[in-house]
Amino acid sequence: EVQLVESGGGLVQPGGSLRLSCAVSGFSIKNNYMSWVRQAPGKGLEWVSVIFTAGSTFYADSVKGRFTISRHNSENTVSLQMNSLRPEDTAVYYCARDQSRYFDLWGRGTLVTVSS
């Protein structure tokens, strides 16, 4: 069965750090692009970052320089290291399989709350 399961969310103070993980089963991440997409409470979807099969990474301007996406092929997991967190980073973070033109598989998401 294909599954993407995010973890690592929680409450963090502004300026703090958090590391999200996405455990994938049912397909190999080393053969696929993987993205993170977030959704602030009551708001729409916002693409955050992608990691390509060759390891190249790209980020939305809103997180560039603060977030780092990485891939761990042996564990079949994708991570998102989030530093210098701001209140506006508060959102549910989804891991998604990225087909370079669309996102065909999504996890259930993990909630990140940035607040003092």
Partner 1 sequence: QSALTQPRSVSGSPGQSVTISCTGTSSDVGVYNSVSWYQQHPGKAPKLMIYDVSKRPSGVPDRFSGSKSGNTASLTISGLQAEDEADYYCCSYAGSAVFGGGTKLTVL
Q: Which residues bind partner 1 (CB under 8 A)?
A: 35, 37, 44-47, 50, 58, 60, 94, 99-104, 106-109
Identity of the residue, 55 or 102, whose beta carbon is nearer to partner 1 in the bound complex: 102
Identity of the residue, 23 or 45, whose beta carbon is nearer to partner 1 in the bound complex: 45
In the complex, what is the shortest distance from the CB of residue 74 to partner 1, in angstroms, rounded to a whole number? Answer: 26
Identity of the residue, 57 or 73, whose beta carbon is nearer to partner 1 in the bound complex: 57
In the complex, what is the shortest distance from the CB of residue 111 to partner 1, in angstroms, rounded to a whole number? Answer: 11
Task: Quickly list DSSP for the chain.
Answer: --EEEEE--EEE-TT--EEEEEEEESS-GGGSEEEEEEE-TTS-EEEEEEE-TTS-EEE-TTTTTTEEEEEETTTTEEEEEE-S--GGG-EEEEEEEE-SS-EEEE---EEEEE--
